[in-house]
Amino acid sequence: MLDLSKPLGQHEGLIFYGDHEQVDLVYYFPDEVKLAPQEEVPGFYEMNLSVFSEGDVETGGSML
């Protein structure tokens, strides 16, 4: 579990935190979070959340 009492430092706009049990697990986030304004609807904002999970790493791919 993310442990906010264990900041590991900042580098190039990211802040790193340790896990409360696993010493080799590191979480990272932007050091500043901003909402993106929607161009189509003034006064509304967008927020994207990316979730990563453990699994195999895949390489390659293509743009459609």
Answer yes or no: is 58 within a domain: no
Q: What's residue 50's pLDDT?
A: 64
Answer yes or no: is 14 within a domain: yes
Answer yes or no: is 55 within a domain: no
Which domain does 36 fall in, by range? 2-46
Instruction: Answer left, alpha or beta for residue 44, where phi above 0 means left and psi between -120 and 50 means alpha.
Output: beta
Structure tokens at 14: 């990211």
The three-state secondary structure class of 12 is coil
Q: What's residue 64's pLDDT?
A: 47
pTM: 0.49
The CA-CA-CA angle for residues 24, 27, 30, to 5°, reads 150
Q: What is the pLDDT of residues 13-56, one digit of tens each?
A: 888 988 888 888 888 888 776 777 888 888 888 776 666 667 76
Give the list of residues 6+ apart from residue 21 with CB closer than 8 angstroms, or none.
1
What is the number of structural domains in the chain? 1
